[in-house]
Structure 1
Amino acid sequence: MKILLVEDEVLIALEQQFYLETAGYTVSGPATTAGEAVAIAGDEKPDLALVDVHLGQGSSGIDAARDLAAIGVPSLFITSFRDELKKGGPVAGIGCLPKPFTESGLLAAVDAARAVLAGETPRNVPQTMELFV
């Protein structure tokens, strides 16, 4: 599975990348803005994007998720700003895993997203994760 990181905090992106690559995922990014996310996704064709709500240069992860969905890339939000996801109506995303996350929580959330995308019932969903589908 190819995963695009959409995160402007370098240390968090490196942590995500380490956990995911150690588990065998192919990782691209991190994209730090919505525009950069769409550009990387157009080139890399990821299976899933992990998206923070607040991105660099005042960019919105919610907008990034909508733009990514328009080109066929589903998103899973990884953010401290879960409440902001509910402000503007339906969100273009599979769900949300709040920060801070653990390695096992991140990997379980990605596996739950993979199951949803495959039309399966997710198992081992982290307690803090909210699925939107």
Structure 2
Amino acid sequence: MSRPALDVLIVEDEMLLAIELEHLIEEAGFHSLGCAMSSDEAVTLARQLNPDLALIDVHLSDGPTGVDVARRIAKDCGGVALFMTANVKRLPDDFAGACGVIGKPYSGHGVKSALSYLAICLTVGHAPGPAPAGLTLAPAYADRWGVVDTLT
């Protein structure tokens, strides 16, 4: 079985982390669409590029606007957001419409495993099993994808 395609937008204002994420995305066999450092840039790029997945930090160059970006990408662009943040406790209960979160610091292996898992979920509409270590699914997406074990 071939790997599902996945176009990923990075929303991260720390350039070294953005470059690392871009490398991990490509190494996992997916396509990086580029990087946005602010909320307006993120939404503009999402509208133009229609990513399958947006990796979003909570704190961007224009402040703690990542939660708003996730909501706007889900509502206005039809994309799926995944938070990548050290501020997991700052996420709202509904995850702002995002499919989940990977807490920082993260490992390269953890990011690649999460991307592969999410590619399957997004392509076939259900999870291949429990989420890999390091990925916490939002309750709405766990229900949507039929994930029973959502231990955090």
Q: TM-score, normalised by structure 1?
A: 0.90
Distance 1:68 1:45 in 2: 9
Work out the CA distance in 1 between the residues paired with 2:90 and 2:70.
13
Greater Cα shift, 115-124 or 63-72: 115-124
Aligned residue type for 1:95: G
Provide the rounded CA distance (Å) in 2 between the counterparts of 1:122 and 1:35.
Answer: 34
Query: 1:9-53 deviations in whole A, cap 9, x for unaligned?
Result: 101000000111122211122101111111111111111100011
* Residue 124 of structure 1: how far off its partner (Å): 6.5
Name the residue aligned to 1:9.
14
Equivalent residue, structure 2, for 1:92:
97
SS at match of 1:69: helix
User: Is 1:50 the counterpart of 2:55 in the alignment?
Assistant: yes
2:39 counterpart letter in structure 1: A
2:98 aligned counterpart, secondary structure: coil
Q: CA RMSD in A?
A: 1.5
Q: Aligned residue pairs: how many?
A: 131
Q: 1:24 aligns with which of 16, 20, 29?
A: 29
The equivalent of 1:82 in structure 2 is 88
Q: Which runs of 5+ in 2 are unaligned?
A: 1-5, 142-152
1:126 maps to what in 2?
132
- Give the TM-score normalised by structure 2: 0.80
| CA 124–51 in structure 1, closer or farther in 2 if over 3 Å, else same | same
Asked which structure has the greater CA Rg, the reply is: 2
Tell me which residue corresponds to 2:73.
68
- What letter corresponds to residue 134 of structure 2 in structure 1? T
Percent of residue pairs bearing the same amino acid type:
36
Q: Any gaps of 5 or more consecutive residues in structure 1? A: none
Partner SS for 1:63? helix
| More deviation, 112-121/47-56 | 112-121
In 1, are the aligned partners of 2:39 and 2:62 still within 8 Å (CA)?
A: no
| C-alpha distance 20-124 of structure 1, shift in aligned 2 (>3 A) | farther
Distance 2:115 2:85 in 1: 14
